[in-house]
Amino acid sequence: MSLKSYSRQRAIHVMLVYTGGCNGCDIEIVNAVLSPKIDIEQYKVFLTWNPREADVLVVTGPVTYHNKEPLLKIYNDIPDPKLVIAAGSCALMGGVYKNIYGDIPSEEIEGPVENIIPVDAKVPGCAVRPQDILAGLISVLPNLLNSD
Amino acid sequence: MIEEKIPNPNGELIETEISMGTVHPAALEPYRVRFFVEDEIIQEAEITIGVNHRGVERIMEGLPVEKANALTEKICGICSNSHTWNSVLTAEKGLNIDIPERANYIRVIMGELERLHSHLLYLAHGCEVLGHETFSMRIFYIRETVMDLLHMIGGNRVQYGVSIIGGVRPRCELNEMRIQKVESGLDELEKNIVNFSERFTSDPIVNSRIEGVGYLPPKQARKLAVTGPSLRACGFNYDLRTEMPQYDDFDFNIISLDTCDVKANLLMRVLESFESIKIIRQAIKNLPKGPIADRNWEMFDCDFIKSYIEVPRGICYHSFALEDGRVRGSVIRTPSMANIAAMQYAAIGNHITDGQLCIVQCDPCFTCTDRAFEIIEL
């Protein structure tokens, strides 16, 4: 393990991007990282709002038309190596919003997230449980730590 | 986005613009705000939404009414139960369904638990924006008690809507064990909130940050049709719960404060939490026996039905017509729609560092507010 990975595993920075869901997943994720009950921070996972500091990008929501550009921009700003976690059923498959106009292709919803950026881990649930976020994060961490 | 400078009252253009968004760290939800600043004092504020429009009303169109009710839950992750409740009430009003007493009590209990969780979330968010992380953490800790109760009754932490047409879901029946858990949870919650509010109101640093900031004149609040706790923090003694037949059996006070600033808004939520606890205690004490759902109802066509209820952020409006058991012409209006104008107005005249605080003071939920609307020029 390189020195870089050695230090990175003691400070995993998670960035949360919200792309137009119902707000439920976001509160649960912030809750999971910050709040004293589940408190992922004790495992050295921190929440950041700066893409240049982040290692892991957590995306929630079916990506709406206006949110596609910002999402791509944020993804490109994160330095390599990086991981993407899609959290919640909207991010996985568009949720209830995907089929908005029936058979006619939707102009509002660009999602699921997979269509726009590569996804490493998928966390299901509507809304996601805080424990699942932690499990999803841990399942892909080796990819991040062994990448260099 | 249209980029244009806004003139100040003297007719000169305000040169300095500080804009945030649409994705910004300080705000969880995507929205765009532009502050026009002179000497670090906000002269004009503008909030633009529309980034996360998904069109729930369009999806509801033509769905069977039961499915449409379940869908309204996904409008907002914070007041999910209230949207389901109001949508179900709309259908019940049109189809003339009387629900059992017990079902109504369970709905009220869930509605008040949701108010508690929403108000505590507001306090936590407010304290975080203030820069006081310790208070924020403390309230997130207190809030977990409510989340556990919601999880126990509704089966999920966020999307836990209990109402179906004719009553409540069978899963949400309150048995002896659940009632005991709710009671002990409420005791713990009350103790924690009392401790927190004593600590909060006696903190001189926090008080100096929030006193007199974000002043919204009562006259302006009325003009902008502000609803909910934000209206009550401006001195108006108005709460739709007093007019709702669902709340007839319960005895509670309407809290109103008249300092119209961020402090009034924050204290408002603390004081309303105690009223909610009072209502839940009454509901549990007098919980009637009997069935929790009335399944003997018939579907028939009906014209547009309107329903208003008081949700944690203000007055929520649902309306639709029924045709062959399917929803037609659904219209939803959420309380934040009215409060956006108040946020813009409250920010004017404050220091730029308090700009975010002034927006947060009106409890914004841009996710549920993002609806398509048509502007008609007369």
Sheet holding B314-323, edge to edge: B302-311, B314-323, B326-333
Q: What is the SS3 assignment for B149?
A: helix
CB contact under 8 A, A20 and B51: yes
- pLDDT given at position B88: 92
Instruction: Tell me which of B155 and A102 has the higher pLDDT.
Output: B155
* Among B304, B259, B255, B270, residue whose Cα is nearest residue B194: B270
The answer for residues whose C-beta is within 8 angstroms of residue B306's C-beta and 6 or more apart is B90, B317, B318, B319
Token pair, residue A91, equals: 């991010």
Query: CA angle at residue A134 from A132 to A138, to 5 degrees?
Result: 115
The answer for residues whose C-beta is within 8 angstroms of residue B235's C-beta and 6 or more apart is B218, B256, B257, B258, B260
Q: Contact at 8 Å (CB) between B327 and B62?
A: yes
Distance CA B157, CA A88 (A): 13
Looking only at the bridges linking them, the beta strands covering A121-123 and B326-333 are unpaired
Distance CA B134, CA B145 (A): 18
Residues 353..372 of B with a Cβ closer than 8 Å to A: which? 365, 367-368
Distance CA B36, CA B139 (A): 33
pLDDT digits (tens, 9 = 90+) for A28-57: 888 888 788 888 888 888 888 888 888 899
Instruction: Give bridge partners of residue B315 from the DSSP assignment.
Output: B310
Tell me: pLDDT of B114 over 60.
Answer: yes
Distance CA B197, CA B156 (A): 29
Query: Band of the pLDDT at B6, cuts 50, 70, 90?
Result: low
Distance from CA of B29 to the nearest CA of A (A): 7
> Quick one: B18 exposed, middle or buried, by C-beta within 10 A (0-12, 13-18, 19+)?
middle
Tell me: pLDDT of B195 over 60.
Answer: yes
Q: What is the mean pLDDT of chain B?
A: 86
Pick the CATH number of B56-334 from 1.10.645.10, 3.40.1350.10, 3.40.50.300, 3.40.50.2300: 1.10.645.10
HSE-up of residue B267 (Cα within 13 Å, Cβ side): 22
- For tokens 């609307």, name the residue: B373
Mutate to test the interface with A, among B19, B52, B61 (most CBs of A within 10 A): B52
Region B18-28 average pLDDT: 73
Q: Which residues of chain A are within 8 Å of residue B56 when distances are taken between CB atoms?
A: 97
Interface check A41 vs B, CB under 8 A: no
Tell me: pLDDT of A63 over 50.
Answer: yes
Q: B20-41 burial string, b = 16+ CB within 10 Å, else e?
A: bbbbbeebbbbbbbbbbbeeee
Residues 6..35 of A with a Cβ closer than 8 Å to B: which? 16-28, 30-31, 34-35
Region B91-105 average pLDDT: 91
CB contact under 8 A, A108 and B53: yes
Beta strands in B136-260 (DSSP E): 163-164, 167-168
Q: What is the SS3 assignment for B348?
A: coil
> Quick one: A79 exposed, middle or buried, by C-beta within 10 A (0-12, 13-18, 19+)?
exposed
Q: A25-52 burial string, b = 16+ CB within 10 Å, else e?
A: bbbbbbbbbbbeebbbeeeebbbbeebe
The answer for residues whose C-beta is within 8 angstroms of residue B201's C-beta and 6 or more apart is B207, B267
Percent of chain B with pLDDT over 90: 29
Distance from CA of B61 to the nearest CA of A (A): 10
Query: Band of the pLDDT at B1, cuts 50, 70, 90?
Result: very low
Distance CA B161, CA A116 (A): 32
Q: What is the SS3 assignment for B115?
A: helix
Token pair, residue A138, equals: 């841990």
Segments making up each domain of chain B, as ranges? 56-334
pLDDT digits (tens, 9 = 90+) for B309-343: 999 888 999 999 999 888 988 888 888 888 888 88
Q: What is the SS3 assignment for A92?
A: helix
Q: Contact at 8 Å (CB) between B117 and B146?
A: yes
Start-to-end Cα distance in chain B = 24
Distance CA B371, CA B350 (A): 30
Cis peptide bond upstream of A127, omega within 30? yes
Long-range contacts, A119-122 (Cβ 8 Å, 24+): A119/A59, A119/A84, A119/A85, A119/A86, A120/A83, A120/A84, A120/A85, A121/A83, A121/A84, A121/A85, A121/A86, A122/A85, A122/A86, A122/A91, A122/A92
Give how far Cα A45 sits from Cα of A14, B127, B332, Å. 7, 22, 39
- For tokens 């401006």, name the residue: B234
Mutate to test the interface with B, among A27, A69, A126 (most CBs of B within 10 A): A27
Query: Band of the pLDDT at B7, cuts 50, 70, 90?
Result: low
* Among A132, A123, A33, A116, residue whose Cα is nearest residue A75: A116
Residue A129 has its nearest CB partner, among B53, B75, B157, at: B157
Query: Band of the pLDDT at A102, cuts 50, 70, 90?
Result: low
- pLDDT given at position B2: 43
Tell me: pLDDT of B192 over 90.
Answer: yes
| C-beta neighbour count of B56 within 10 angstroms | 25
Backbone region of residue B218 per phi and psi (left: phi > 0; alpha: psi in -120 to 50; beta: other values): alpha
Query: CA angle at residue B17 from B12 to B21, to 5 degrees?
Result: 145
Mutate to test the interface with A, among B157, B363, B369 (most CBs of A within 10 A): B157
Q: What are phi and psi for residue B183, nearest 5 degrees?
A: -60, -50
Q: What is the SS3 assignment for A59?
A: strand
